[in-house]
A and B are shown apart, each in its own frame.
Chain A
Amino acid sequence: MKIVVLWSDALIFLLVAVIATFFWNMRKDKILTERWRQVFSSRLGMVAFVVIASYILIALLDSLHFRKALEPVEGQPADQVFYENRATSVLDVLMGDMADENERTYSAPFSLKSFEKVNMKADDGSSIRDFPPLVHAGKHLDDPADKPADIVKQTFIALIIAIVVCAFWIGPQWYFLRNSELPWKSAWIAQAVIILVFVWLIYVGNLYHVLGTDKAGNDVLYKSIKGIRTGVLLGTLATLVMLPIAVTLGVCAGYFKGWVDDIVQYLYTTLSSIPGILLIAASVLLFQVYIDLNPDFFTIGLQKADARFVGLCFILGVTSWATLCRLVRAETLKISQLEYVQAAHAFGVSNYRIIKRHILPNLTHIILITFVLDFSALVLAEAVLSYIGVGVDPAMTSWGNMINEAREELSQEPAIWWTLAGAFFFMFTLVLAANLFSDLVRDAFDPKTVDGGAKA
């Protein structure tokens, strides 16, 4: 086993670390804690948060990559180990054999037979043409007719496993949090439902193809779950990448004014006046060329796809950078006019200290709101970009790529709907949760709505 750290893996864990420190530092701040309390005091907020958190957890599990060692062969020096040329993630291990249970081509959900006829030899030696049985789905069955009963039985087993998992997972939470005034009950129910769904999906998914298989015979459920990482990472990393630039430039422009302000304004007006899609298309092509010209940097294919992915995050960050920069600049302008900041100036406090002590803390709510608002927009944007052909690498599983494939499958006769359904379900759940959560965050943090709400 050899651990592989992809660029995006490193970035996502960096992001987690940043957020963790942020919250750790925040714990002393009364106002902020109060506002977060407001977010979580609604049941909807709790549920939405649990959903997002589970998606993030899956994404993180899918971001721990390693390469399995190959069996040593004769003549190989004992100290020398060679590795598979594909990376496996912890999530893959947790999902069991789903990744490797490839069929030949399309098959419908829960089907035991392929979607496509092939030539077969009948028992009497004659050549017939029929739907061949699948290699992996339902191979534990003796008689295909047992399928409905077996599905019920397996569901029951999955249920029991899920209940056990729930007990171990939710029990301690209940013990520590039972006296909290926050609506933890909703959170536990949400967690229980999610655990139930995932345990069932993975357990039954290892026996059948719950969402069928795609053209190359890959399990669609597996692909949909793998798409989670792409969606979550794109939604968060793009913001992470642009954050430092946008905040630095915005603060500089608003604080120093004069020519610095002119330059920053020029930069963001120029960038935002280019039609975004063209900018993204050109930049993605640029990244792709760079990757193509330097194949030596990448030992396995996944790293190439990953490099393009990080590039895409970066360029999406750059295109959405202008909005945040404008907001930060305006807010900084406003804050630096305040009396206590003026007073600090008069006392000769250094610019660095003023920015650090007085300006940055007052910008957190803008950054936070942008972060949560952009998240769902970015996840949705990925699908459109993939359609135009400038999204993530086609080799990388993503919902956008799945939708793109599904477009053609839908016009087949009979229509193949399950790829679309899989992508739709997982994408919709995430975006819905993110939207609901971001609403609550905005309500709690945006001074405008906070005041408005108070008045009402």
Chain B
Amino acid sequence: MRLSLISVVIAIALQLVACGDVYNNPYTSVSDDKIIYYSHFQEPPKHLDPAISYASDESLFISQIYEPPLGYHFLKRPYVLKTMAASEVPEITPLNADMEKVEEGSDQIAFTRFTIRIEPELRYQPHPAFAKKSDGSPLYIFENAASSENFKVIADFPETSSRLVHANDFIYQIKRLADPKNKSPMLGFMAQYIVGMREFSQQLGKIERNGWVNLDNHDMEGLEVIDDNTYSILINGSYPQFTYWLALHFFAPVPPEVDQFFHNPGFKEKNLTLDWYPVGTGAFMMTKNDPNSQIVLERNPNFRLEYYPKEGEEGDRELGYLEDAGKQIPFVDKAIFSLEKELLPMWTKFLQGYYDRSGEGHSNTHKFFDQAFVIGPNGLEMSEEMKSHDLTVTTESKPGTHYYGFNMLDPVLGGYTEERRKLRQALSIAFNIEDEIDIFHKGTSLPAHSPIPPGIPGYLEGEEGINPYVYDWVDGAPKRKPIEHAKKLLAEAGYPNGREAKTGKPLTIYLDVQARATTPDKQDWQRQQFEKLGVQLEFRSTDWNRFREKLLTGNTQIYTHGWLADYPDPENFLFLLYSPESPLICKCDGANNSNYANDEYDALFEKMRVMEPSPEREAIVAQMLDILRRDAVWMTGYHPLDNYLNNPWLFNAKRHGISKTFLKYVRVDSELRRQKRADWNQPVIWPVVTLGIFVILLFIPAVRAYRRRQNMTIH
């Protein structure tokens, strides 16, 4: 005890000598002449290859580096697409079976051609893969693993170079999606749409491989390079949503030389892969990738001229989001992301000023603050300590829905009879999602009245947007119907007081949840919701794999699930209940886990799917939502609403629900940060000093006792 305490004292004394006035700065060896953005990530990214990655944690990095043809406007809401790598909006040409141009909306459409013109001045970041010998052949191509032995990480290659983006690089990447070796999650889905993708994939699967396969030597039917800056993609039938897909990193350019470079012999064994070291055209490039502790992005010197947007959503000017309008971006030179798995250190570092904002992928505020951070009726409430930090708040409404779904095939709750509908409606009323939001999300979510979240066309504010089977419109706000109404419905459904009318047997309902998504206190609370009706609730919580299996085989009763949109179109939500998407019908990992099958709904869906946005389309969507509410396919749900806290030196921190391309827009006041960090991190030394003195005091009696013992005589 004594010695370890001394070692603490010594160590801390050493620290006193070693650094300045702040001891807990987690950043070492960082030069001050650059403007740095400090942040963190919760999960180490598994994939950074734009053909493979499909997780939101990963898009935090990928979106800063890769540029697909289209992107989203940083400020405007509802979400608006803008050009990114493309120089203009893709040209869409409907074609008939003979490849002749036809009218839009014609029933002869057999194919659609997307023609994309790219920005002519688009350049890649400096990278060794572009370095050339004097004869023009690539410099870093090795015969065998031994000759590249000295290169361990990407920074070990001294020579780098760059080049302009060619239209073929986009085509090359689409071929990479099709290459079975890359195991792209998009392969199966995109093969339904892109002409020739499936055949191409099968053809590649058959060839002999030894090292790099140049995909340029293999042709894919639906892709065509028209000139250096133009290419086209041919789609089966009509699929207007494909434009949105062009805003995802799957369609960003990947140059063949980079692919070749990373297929050098022995590179994979050193984890030198495209999956680890992205190469893009975006505002930033990755200069350090140690996903187990730190990832560093630096400004791409070859980034084209781009300016901060001049217009935004209503209210953006007041929030200061337009102060930098028209200035050249990016504002920061470097971004340091540190791995932070645990929440206590994450919050502590944020409040100590070592992270510029409270989260990247998810804000976590609702999990963490009680009195400190609550969304009340008067807006936001913060604790005194947090107020003293002058934090600002950014709210992000994610285009997503978390829901409790009924399995429509379930013998007790499923089915389409009036009784079953009433039963489900009764449960919907009893399950007070507003309470769940208050208790478990600190008030930072919106109760869902339909699958469609705010910000997506089809979401309606006000009275016409409420679910009339669960809510009443009272005094200008939705009000949950009284529990008596639910009891009445339940009695009409054949379960008075929660007991089966004939036998008196209590109605027991099973909630299928994923074990990690639930906690005992949440289960307690959920049980209480049904107790209000006298209905018993049991939990079948399982691990993710088993949960997935139950969904795929239709072995659920009530399940919880969530959906985050890939693009801002109601189709991306309404397809969740389209009957061919039911796993039992399509024999695939379909998304209609409720196994809902309603012919009327399906017909409307098929109609709206191929329509361009228009009032008629919105009318159809409204009609579809009405059907869903009447059938009560989903018990209830909420739309996540995240609040991110920003330290006072961070500007332009607006959040975009879909796109994560934010880094080039944010601005940091380094001087203010330096001051605040010094203010907030004054160490408390007295406990250590007291402890040291206490230990020294302990020594005195010990030494005396020892002396006495030494001089003791035996009688």
Contacts and interface: CB of A to CB of B under 8 A. Distances in A.
B158 interface: no
B378 interface: yes
Contacts of A301: 538-539
B521 A215 contact: yes
A106 B370 contact: yes
Contact of A413 (B371, B440, B519, B540): B371
B157 interface: no
B538 A300 contact: yes
A397 B499 CA distance: 30
B680 interface: no
B619 interface: no
Interface in B484-542: 496-497, 499, 501-506, 508, 510, 515, 518-525, 528, 536-542
Given A413-B383, A413-B385, A82 B504 contact: yes
B89 interface: no
A90 interface: no
A411 B504 contact: no
A395 B523 contact: yes
Interface stretch (A9-17, A114-122, A165-173): A114-122
A236 interface: no
B275 to A, nearest CB: 26
Interface stretch (B342-350, B636-644, B691-699): B342-350
A263 interface: no
Interface residues of B, number: 53
Contact of B377 (A74, A127, A397, A408): A127
Contacts of B508: 85
Contacts of A295: 510, 540
A386 B440 CA distance: 22
B674 interface: no
Given A73-B504, A395-B523, A411 B371 contact: no
Contacts of B515: 288, 394
A129 B378 CA distance: 9
Contacts of A214: 521
Contacts of B518: 394
B369 interface: yes
Interface string A395-418: 101000100010110111110100
B368 A394 contact: no
A456 interface: no
A292 interface: yes
B497 A401 contact: no
A395 B505 contact: no
B602 interface: no
Contacts, number: 123
A286 to B, nearest CB: 11
Nearest to B435: A104
Contacts of B35: none
Contact of A116 (B343, B370, B385, B537): B370
B186 to A, nearest CB: 30
A224 interface: no
Interface in A28-84: 70, 72-77, 80, 82, 84
A117 B374 contact: yes
Interface in B343-389: 343-344, 347-348, 367-374, 376-378, 381, 383, 385-386
Nearest to A410: B344
B472 interface: no
A135 interface: no
B546 interface: yes
B358 to A, nearest CB: 12
B311 interface: no
A74 B501 CA distance: 8
Interface of A is mostly: loop
Contact of A407 (B344, B374, B522): B344
A46 B646 CA distance: 58
B343 A411 contact: yes
A454 to B, nearest CB: 21
Contacts of A85: 506, 508, 536-538
A285 interface: yes
A289 interface: yes
Given A73-B499, A105-B439, A408-B343, A218 B521 contact: yes
Nearest to A215: B521
B543 interface: yes
Interface string A261-294: 0000000000000000000000001001100110
B443 to A, nearest CB: 10
B438 interface: yes
Contacts of A394: 515, 518-520
A297 to B, nearest CB: 12
A149 interface: no
A145 interface: no
Contacts of A407: 342, 344
Interface in A81-117: 82, 84-85, 102, 104-106, 115-117
B439 A412 contact: no
A216 B344 contact: no
B367 A215 contact: no
Contacts of B506: 70, 82, 85
Nearest to A291: B542
A157 B542 CA distance: 47
Contacts of A395: 520, 523, 539, 541
Contacts of B520: 216, 394-395, 397, 401
Given A85-B536, A129-B376, A412-B370, A118 B438 contact: yes
B347 A411 contact: yes
A73 B541 CA distance: 31
Cβ-closest 7 pairs across A and B: A76-B504, A216-B521, A413-B372, A411-B344, A292-B542, A85-B536, A216-B524
Given A82-B504, A105-B439, A289-B543, 10 more contacts: A70-B506, A72-B504, A76-B499, A85-B538, A102-B528, A115-B371, A117-B381, A215-B439, A395-B523, A416-B370
19 contacts: A80-B504, A82-B505, A85-B506, A85-B508, A115-B370, A116-B371, A117-B374, A215-B519, A216-B522, A218-B521, A293-B546, A300-B538, A301-B539, A394-B518, A401-B520, A408-B367, A410-B344, A411-B347, A412-B369
